[in-house]
């Protein structure tokens, strides 16, 4: 695929999916009913939900910093905060051809000068986050399986468990990872960078305590996110037990990682499908998801503000970073 076409495709696809799914949502559900559901919200609950949503950022940054230390990186706290929020901003923009992980990785690597270790910490961060999502979803479902027996929910949780296990095996098994890297034999530089990334990830083998700390923080962050949804639902006068959000939230989080504008569209479809299973109307579910999309956008805009106000001291030099980036993030 030509590079120019690939760049255009990477911009168009997220826009097409997000806008297409939102269009389908508003065709299926009367947007006036969604607006009425949002308009009648209790701002006390919504304010509390917004504050909790913002707090989750710091749990994720804390997890990332633990894993950076585990692979031998010593990043400043303010730098970690700054690049994390800038990455969140870039994740909103379909005009960006790189994701939030790549942006924060480039930013920290520019300061520390160790790209493979930085990107290893980000891979481990994502992996521990996914592990936390899977563990919480499985445990919550085991407690709540008597009240939710929807086949799609069961399939989603089983699929997440299998995928999580497979990723761990591939990343931490030298034999399997080396075999997989043979596919890049024609591109020795990419293959070499992938192997360096693998060796840095394997550093965590002797530091299981750090890995478990990251996973427990991930579980905590997911529980806090479920509480945030619970409060937002209370703000919309919906009395939905917290356990349902603990079961559903991990599934929606995985879905929103698909190509989109900050998860927009996929988040709405996910909640509009799941919440009616427990008696919430589609209009209320759509309104709840749009409120949380608004939280995500505000969070990203904060990152944009941080980027603009600190631009002179932190501009990313793409011409220097691209070669290693292509190898480390492929």
Neighbours of 292 (CB within 10 A): 24
For residue 265, is pLDDT > 90? no
Q: How far apart are CA 105 and CA 89, in angstroms?
A: 14
Own/partner long-range contacts of 180-185 (Cβ < 8 Å, ≥24 apart): 184/330
Rg for the chain, CA atoms, rounded: 20
Angle between helices 266-274 and 242-255 (to 10 degrees): 150
Q: What is the mean pLDDT of residues 135-157?
A: 70
> pLDDT value at position 223?
93
Look at 34-48, 90-104, 236-250, 291-305 and tell me which has the smallest mean pLDDT. Answer: 90-104
The residue with greater pLDDT, 61 or 250, is 61
Among positive and negative, which fits the CA dihedral 245, 249, 250, 252? positive
For residue 286, is pLDDT > 70? yes
Q: What angle (nearest 5°) sits at the alpha carbon of residue 119, between those of residues 115 and 121? A: 120
> pLDDT value at position 192?
74
For residue 5, is pLDDT > 90? no
Neighbours of 26 (CB within 10 A): 14
Q: Strands (DSSP E) along the chain, which ranges?
A: none
Q: Which of 241, 257, 283 is nearest to 34 (CA)?
A: 283
> pLDDT value at position 26?
79
Q: What is the mean pLDDT of residues 102-129?
A: 85
> pLDDT value at position 3?
58
The residue assigned the tokens 């998860």 is: 263
The residue with greater pLDDT, 86 or 14, is 86
Angle between helices 100-112 and 77-90 (to 10 degrees): 150
For residue 140, is pLDDT > 90? no
The residue with greater pLDDT, 103 or 324, is 103
DSSP state at residue 29: S
Look at 87-96, 238-247, 291-300, 308-317 and tell me which has the smallest mean pLDDT. Answer: 308-317
162 is written with which tokens?
């299998």
The residue with greater pLDDT, 93 or 118, is 118
Q: How far apart are CA 109 and CA 62, in angstroms?
A: 18
Nearby residues of 264 by Cβ (< 8 Å), 6 or more positions away = 18, 21, 22, 293, 296
Residue 150's SS3 state is: coil
> pLDDT value at position 57?
94
> pLDDT value at position 323?
41
The residue with greater pLDDT, 205 or 192, is 192
3-state SS track over 286-297: HHHHHHHHHHHH
For residue 326, is pLDDT > 70? no
Q: What are phi and psi of 85, to 5 degrees?
A: -70, -35
Q: Which of 70, 65, 67, 90 is nearest to 80 (CA)?
A: 65
> pLDDT value at position 129?
87
> pLDDT value at position 206?
66
Q: What is the mean pLDDT of residues 286-313?
A: 86
> pLDDT value at position 11?
65
Q: How far apart are CA 61 and CA 80, in angstroms?
A: 7
141 is written with which tokens?
């479902």
């Amino acid at each position: 695929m030509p590079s120019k076409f690939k760049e255009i495709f990477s911009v168009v696809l997220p826009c097409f999916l997000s806008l297409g799914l939102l269009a389908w949502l508003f065709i299926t559900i009367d947007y006036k009913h969604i607006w009425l559901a949002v308009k009648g919200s209790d701002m006390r609950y919504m304010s509390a939900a917004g504050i909790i949503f913002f707090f989750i950022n710091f749990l994720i940054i804390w997890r990332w910093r633990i894993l950076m230390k585990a692979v031998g990186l010593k990043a400043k706290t303010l730098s970690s905060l700054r690049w994390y929020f800038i990455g969140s901003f870039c994740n909103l923009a379909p005009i960006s051809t790189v994701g939030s992980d790549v942006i924060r990785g480039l930013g920290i690597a520019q300061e520390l000068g160790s790209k493979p270790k930085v990107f290893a910490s980000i891979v481990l961060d994502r992996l521990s986050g996914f592990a936390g999502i899977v563990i919480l979803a499985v445990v919550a479902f085991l407690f709540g399986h008597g009240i939710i027996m929807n086949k799609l929910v069961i399939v989603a949780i089983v699929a997440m468990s299998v995928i999580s296990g497979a990723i761990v095996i591939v990343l931490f098994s030298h034999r399997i990872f080396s075999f997989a890297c043979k596919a890049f034999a024609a591109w020795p530089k990419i293959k070499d960078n992938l192997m360096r990334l693998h060796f840095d990830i394997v550093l965590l083998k002797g530091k299981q305590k750090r890995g478990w700390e990251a996973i427990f923080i991930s579980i905590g962050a997911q529980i806090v996110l479920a509480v945030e949804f619970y409060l937002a639902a209370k703000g919309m006068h919906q009395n939905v037990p917290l356990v349902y959000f603990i079961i559903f939230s991990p599934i929606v989080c995985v879905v929103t990682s698909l190509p989109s504008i900050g998860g927009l569209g996929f988040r709405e479809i996910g909640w509009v499908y799941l919440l009616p299973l427990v008696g919430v109307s589609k209009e209320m579910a759509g309104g709840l998801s749009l409120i949380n999309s608004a939280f995500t956008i505000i969070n990203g805009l904060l990152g944009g503000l941080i980027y603009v106000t600190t631009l002179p001291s932190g501009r990313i030099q793409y011409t220097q970073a691209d070669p290693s980036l292509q190898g480390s993030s492929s």
